[in-house]
Structures are given as C-alpha cells and as structure tokens.
Amino acid sequence: MTVPLIHGNSSISLYASDDNLLKSAIEFYDIVGFKYYLKQDDVHYLRSSNEKLTIKITKDSKFCKSKDEVSALIKDFEAKDKDLRSLESSFIISVENLNDLINSLGLHKVYYQIYPNELFPNECFTVDPLGNLIGFTTFSNPITSKPPVTKLSPHPSIVPSSSMSKSVSTSNLSNLTNFDTNKRRNIAVMTSGGDAPGMNANVRAIVRAAIYRGCKAFAVMEGYEGLVRGGPEYIKEMQWQDVRGYLSDGGTNIGTARCLEFRERAGRLKGCKHLIEAGIDALIVCGGDGSLTGADLFRSEWPSLIKELKETNQITDGQYNTYKHLNICGTVGSIDNDMATTDATIGAYSSLARICQAIDYIDATANSHSRAFVVEVMGRHCGWLALMAGIATSADYILIPEKPASSKDWQEQMCEIVNKHRSKGKRKTIVIVAEGAITNELKPISCNEVKDVLVDRLGLDTRVTTLGHVQRGGTAVAYDRILATLQGVEAVEAVLDCTPETPSPLIAIEENKIVRKPLVDAVRITKSVATAIESKDFEKAMSLRDSEFVEHLNNFIAMNSANHNEPRLPADKRKRIAIINVGAPAGGMNSAVYAMATYCMSQGHKPYAIHNGFSGLARHESVRTIDWLEIENWNSIGGSEIGTNRTTPKEADIGMIAYYFEKYRFDGLILVGGFEAFLSLNELEESRVNYPAFRIPMVLIPATISNNVPGTEYSLGSDTCLNSLTDYCDIVKQSASATRDRAFVIEVQGGNSGYIATFASLTTGANASYVPEEGIDLSQLEMDIHNLKESFATEKGLSKAGKLILKSTNASKVLTTQVLANIINEESNGEFDTKTAIPGHVQQGGLPSPIDRTRGARFAIKAVQFIEEHSDFISSKKYDIKFVSDDKAIANTASVLGIKSSKVKFTSIRYLYDFETQLGKRMPKTISWAKTRNIADQLEGRTRIERI
C-alpha cells in the first residue's frame, strides 16, 4: 500500500488477499463516501465525492496480509484498551461532514472511535476490512499520514485533547522524533523536601512530555510519604488537562512532605511494592540534595527490594520480570541553589527575586532615617542567596557559611567597611546574613548579634528583618519556569534513554545549556561541602562550590572595597576606561555601569561614563568621571542613568569621537547595548586604520530585550522583559479565565527577533505564538483557530481556562494584532470571543531582575579584565604606521562578550559581523531558541504546519 499525501489530487493503492476481502473493502469504502466508478485490468477504482481522492483496490496476495492475519489485526484494533489514535494510521482523510460519516458507520455497525468527544467530534478512527487503520478529520489541510499521535500510548485517557492527534509535518518533531514503542514507560513524578517556586512548572512539563512521548504519566502525592502509603489516592495517573494552570501556581500542587519511614529499608520496600502495583517503571524526583540522595539509594537497592517482594510472594513472577529495573532521574528544586554541578536550581532565582524586592523596599526607609538594616535570608549550608542578594542590592556586608572568620575578625571587618561607607556620605547600611552563617569556630552568627555590634560600636540606629518563608512563596519568575520546563522535558528524555547500566542522571544547567550529570556525583559533592564546613576545612568547602560561585564572591569583595582600600594594581598598570550605553534602555545597564566603576576603583583604574551615547559625546563632550556615592544605588534602578540613544559613531561624527577618545586618553571602552551597539563596535573597529584613538581594547556587553545580538544567546534586559511580560500575561489570562470563553491576542516586542515571544509562550502556556522568523501562515492560523475551538469545548466550565496567543510586532505587517483578533473572532462562530492586549514599553520592565543585575555585574567585571589583559598588546601598536587591522590578534581586541551554550566567551566583532550576522534583519544567522519553540508548542498540544 502506498502512503500518499491527502491534499490535492492523490490516490491510494490497497491490496486484498482474496475475493471476499476485496468485496468487503469495496462495500466499506462505499459506506464512508467513496463511489465505485471503474474496473480496469482487475483494478477497482473508487472516488471521493469531491473527486480529489481515488482509491485503487486490487487482489494480490504478495502485497497484503492473509485473511487470518487481517482478522487477528482487526480483533487487536478493536480491543477495548486500544486508543486508535495512538497507533500508526495508514492514512488520514479530510471530510466535510464528519457527523454524517459517523452516522453511516454506526448504521452499518462498523467499529469506530471519535475524538475529543461525541458533542464536538473532530476526528474519527476506524479499521477497514483489509486491516488498514484510517483516520477521518474535519481539518481541511492534513499534511502527512504520520501525525505525532501515532507515537502516543494506547490508552484513551492519556490525551483528552485531540489537538495532540492532528496531522502535522515533521517540523514539529525536530526534537522529539523517532519514538520507539519499546521505550514506552509509565513515568511518575514526585516533589520532595522543601517546596520551591517552579516545581509546578516542572511537574507540568514532565506530565505532558511523558504523554507526548507515548507514556503514561503519574504523580506521587505528598512526596516520599505518598510513596510509602501507596494506592490510587497517593499514586495518581495524570491526564493532559490535570496540569492546566500549573505554570502560574507557586509551591507544588502535588504536595511534598518529609518522610522518616522512607529512610528505613522497610519504608523503601513499601515504596517499591506500591510502584510495582501502579505499574510504574520510571521515577523523576524534583527536590533538594536529601530527596535526591533518597532517590539514588532507592534505585541502588531496587534489585534487592524487588527480590525480597518476590520471595515473600508479595508480587508475582510476571511483575518481578517486568519491573526488574527502576529508572530514576533527578531535577533539583531548591531555593538555596546548593546542588553541585549545576549553575542554578529550580526556585533559587524566584527566591532571590523576593529577597531583592524586600531589600529594595527596605532601602528606601533605611535611606530616609539613615538606618542600618540586618536582613536574614535562607541558606543553611549555602550562602548563594546572601551572596547574590549582596551583589544585586549593593549591600555593605554579607555573612555566609563558606567564608567564615573569627568572632573578632568579622566584627572588626564589618565595622571598618560600614564606617568607611558612612564616612563617604552613604546614609544607609544593609548587612545580609545567611541563616547558616557561622564563625570559623562553627559558632552560629545571629542577626541580633550583628545588630548589637552595629549599635554598640558604630552607634547606628539598626533594625532586624527576617524574611522567612516569604522567600519560598509566590509564583515562579520567568527563569524558573523556563528552567523547570526545559529540565522536565529533558528528564523524560533521560529516563527513556536509560538502560539498567546507566547511572541515574541529574538534569543540570551550565550557563545556558541543559545537561545531564551523574546524580550520585552531584549528591556526593554537595554533601561533602557541608562535611568540609563541619570539619572547619573552609578552603575545601569553597573549592567544592562551582567556579561561578567563587567568581561572584570575588566580584562582591572587589566592588565592596571600591574607593576605600588601597588599589590592587601598581600605578603603571592602571588604566583610563570608559563605558557607554547605546540603543534602547534595558534592565541591567545601570548594574553594568555600577560594577564596572566600582571594580575599576578597587583595581586603581579611572572609570569614565560617556553620557547620552555617541551623539552626546560628539555634540556636548559628555564625558564624566564616575563618583562612587552618586552610583551607590544604581543596581536597583531600571533604564539607563547615563543616558542612551541609537546613534552610531559614523552617524554622530566619527572624527569628533576619535578626537575625544584621544583627548581623554582612553585605554579601553565598554559598550553596553543592543544591535546599534554591535554596529557601533564594528564601525570603531573598522576605523582603527584611520584613527589610532580606537586602537584600544573594546568590548560589547549585549543589552537588549530583543536578544538579537550575534555572538550571544543571552542579553541583559531580556530576563527583566520576560518577567514583566509573564506577569502581564498571567493577569490577562486570569481575566480571560474569569470571563469564560475568551482568548487574548497579546502583542510582543522584539523587532525581528522571536526570542521574547518564544520564551513568553513557554512561561505563560500560550496556545500559540507568531514570530518574525516564521511569519503567519494562513494554514497555521486556521489550525490554531481549530485548536482554540477544541480547547474551549473540552474545557467548558473549567477554571484556569483562559487562552493566550502571542504575536511579535513584526511577525506580520498585514495581520496586525487587531486584525488577527478580528479574524479569530469571525472564525470562532460565536463559540468564544477574542480581545487584544498590548503591553508596549511595559515590557522594558521597571526594576531590573536579579538575573540582569548579577549578570550585568559579572559581565562588566569580565569586560574590565578583558581590557586589562589586552591593553598592553594593542597599546604597543597604537601609533604603528604599519598597523594591520585584519591581524587576528589585533581583531580579537574588539570583541563581543556573550554566553554561548555552556560557556561565557569573547568573540571578535570582525568575525561576527562578517560571518554570523543578517544585517538586513538585524539578527544573528543562527537562532538559538528554535528547539524551545518546539517544546513550547508541544507542551500546549499545538499542531505545527509546514509547507511541503
């Protein structure tokens, strides 16, 4: 049998093994609307009513199954537990009136299944007398004969929405193709230990990714407690719609609890039995190091546990053979960010956001009264929250368990720093204390003790604020939703890839890349940190933290000593370094300026700010040295305090720019901005031949909400934008849910980049997103409208049923946001209504997010270090008559600082401009978020259409 495309004129060839099957097949296709019209050379021709599809049936036993084989196959198809959508369809046919076809099948007592339900049928599956599985659909443009549903598990309850079973092109399966039916598993997810924002997003991703891959999904309620108790009350099968609305929920909806019983073998034996009874052969645990330690121990003991169950007749031989191996995978949910081998844990940045918000508020009252505040944050064995909050809020002092001092030393050091800051004119003092802060004698340091020192020694009016469980509460920030979702999808992939010999994986992140690490190694290193601290080996404890933690700590110390301690570098190594903002404002710009200036001061360099971009420099000589007191609160201010515009050097007057560079004898330049900054750096680098003033190290820190700068997968400001847009969409979605039967089309900024729309779709659970890279295809729009109709039909009367469609401003010049909403309204036939929402410049955000603050600081300091490293080399050639601009070593002194996959790297502007840039579109040639688009669509059940 050939497998044709079922749009346009096409034909299908079928074969029967004998005359009876041939006759039965002709009668069957007559029932479903194909009329017999010709016989030629023993080939029988039937044609559809619209004459677009021809079926050819001939008798030939060489190309078909025997009568007995066909009977067995049909009997298997009609088994009660078979979901016909989950099996590989021979072909799918589009029909105009599905109800008439269903009535005809019923009248002739032909077995069939319809989806999503009898009230709103969109698809019907049945089996012809030759054993071919056939799908009929109301969609006018089915694309191929192998939709993703052919990979789903054969259980009707798994996919309540038929949006998962539409005929789609393989473009939607770029990351999830080649499903192996032998890999179908029953996958359970469990949250354990302390709750963390983002756990619900992780559960949602695991449930839907498992279903999409043809597996059954389960949730173990109440953590290990539920595993020990067992039964359907605690081990529940999850359906697609069960995790609706999880993205915007804080905490964990499936519960978590500490379980002493599971720590004993008898408790783990019960857990083993209950998983076998539920038919589960893979377990994904989202929790901290204690929870993941229990998971890894559970897997290592599994062979002996299941053997004991068999020997005591608590399970059958069949169960023993089926569940010999348990696949376990870990995703880390912990606000402390204390797990080794991963840069971030689920919930950590949400908790950091709560802390920074609280300190920002405290800052105002502290400044008003010239007070000191001691703020206690969580972190029993890890000072990550205190450290990052210290950087993000420009705190005066932090106390963390990894870097203790004697009782006398920390008191004297803190008082010295605070006193210096006060003597320079600072009105407020913020000291952040991790709850696990200790002296080097392992004596706990309490907030009240810190307060007493500030009062007694410095006479400061001091207050204590303990944030407590506020740090755990609230919805997850955009980053944690993204991290939790991508890790959840990868966790499902991991358990499907695992063999009995594969070590249990931990899903981690390195810079910008989701990776798998050995779970046992991560747990071992994490626990060894606490052990090292307990044994007073603080140097070892610090070495066991990841390199980024150490880097952040060194940065904080350097920035905190700015302008008060003796500079680190000798006089002949000190430079004159300028910073300029170019392009639209973006969250983190001020943080970059603050970090650059304070780090320069601590090293002995002289920092300059060029105000109002290159036009400000050319017109007004807007160069100012940076004063420490003036910038002390810039970390928590959005926008750009030194001003910014889109003018490039050539547009402003590049000769005048060179004159001022020479006048102020700049030894290095840091540009902070978007694509205009990228173009500016290229112009400066190209002009080195004519202007020796530009023969200095120059580095660009990408900062734009569009995230469209070549050479990086992350730009400052994009996280702040995503947070603002996610909050906005959550509110709009809530409105849509309350109104019932309403969808919103939301216009998203980003220029020609679909980054913001793509990731906002992932963080908000939007039904569809349209981006400039793809445009808006009318067939895709038609399919998306069908999806909306079906979603509203299946979720009728349910809560959290608001629908969102995100449209990038430049996705289509013709189909504007309002026009798109009007089309959807018109096509909805009154089943739902559609409104528009345009957040506009709200997307630039107010206060910068903690990620943009801390990354702004990290990037700025790396940029200064880049200038330090390259300054002597390029300065030696500054007035060289034979200056060779295309020399690779020279070209590398003008670079873009960016994150690429798992690394932070510098890439020369010459290479990026010449080989990795689409100038007309103001975009990089390679789009790093294409895989994320697929994941966002798949987790919403969106069918993607690609023109063939």
- Residues marked active site are found at 336
Determine the Cα–Cα distance for residues 878 and 661; give it in Å rounded to an integer: 13
- DSSP assignment of 797-832, as one string? T-SS--EEEEEEGGG-SSS-HHHHHHHHHHHTTTS-
The 10 Å CB-count burial string (b at 16+, else e) for 160-196 is bbbbbbbbbbeebbeebeebeeeebbbbbbbbbbbbb
The 10 Å CB-count burial string (b at 16+, else e) for 804-830 is bbbbbbbbbeebbbeebbebbbebbee
CA distances from 579 to 99, 476, 718, 854 (A): 68, 34, 20, 18
Number of H helices, E strands in the chain: 29, 32
Determine the Cα–Cα distance for residues 570 and 605; give it in Å rounded to an integer: 10
Task: Let me know: does 320 contact 273? Beta carbons within 8 Å.
Answer: no
Six-digit token pair at 744?
A: 């919103």
Determine the distance from the C-alpha atom of residue 280 to the mean position of all C-alpha atoms in its chain, rounded to a whole number: 28
Determine the Cα–Cα distance for residues 468 and 447; give it in Å rounded to an integer: 13
Determine the Cα–Cα distance for residues 937 and 771; give it in Å rounded to an integer: 13
3-state SS assignment for residue 240? helix
How many Cβ atoms from other residues are within 10 Å of residue 383's Cβ? 31
Cα separation of the two ends of the chain: 22
Determine the distance from the C-alpha atom of residue 632 to the mean position of all C-alpha atoms in its chain, rounded to a whole number: 32
Task: Let me know: does 579 contact 606? Beta carbons within 8 Å.
Answer: no
Six-digit token pair at 507?
A: 């899903």
Determine the Cα–Cα distance for residues 44 and 26; give it in Å rounded to an integer: 8
Using left for φ > 0, alpha for ψ between -120 and 50, and beta otherwise, residue 826 falls in: alpha
Which residue, among 520, 518, 516, has the nearest Cα to 507 in the 3D structure?
Answer: 516
The 10 Å CB-count burial string (b at 16+, else e) for 475-490 is bbbbbbbbbbbbbbbb
C-alpha dihedral (276, 281, 282, 283), degrees to nearest 10: 0
* E strands in 247-391: 282-287, 327-332, 372-377
Determine the Cα–Cα distance for residues 542 and 552; give it in Å rounded to an integer: 12
Peptide bond into 839 cis (omega under 30): no
Determine the Cα–Cα distance for residues 933 and 758; give it in Å rounded to an integer: 6
Place of tokens 């995703």: 331
Six-digit token pair at 402?
A: 């990894």
* φ, ψ dihedrals at 907, nearest 5°: -125, 135
C-alpha dihedral (470, 474, 476, 478), degrees to nearest 10: -100
Parallel, antiparallel, or unpaired: how do β-strands 513-518 and 505-510 relate? antiparallel
Beta-bridge mates of residue 283: 188, 328
How many Cβ atoms from other residues are within 10 Å of residue 921's Cβ? 16
The single-letter DSSP state of residue 795 is T
Beta-bridge mates of residue 444: 438
Task: Let me know: does 116 contact 162? Beta carbons within 8 Å.
Answer: yes
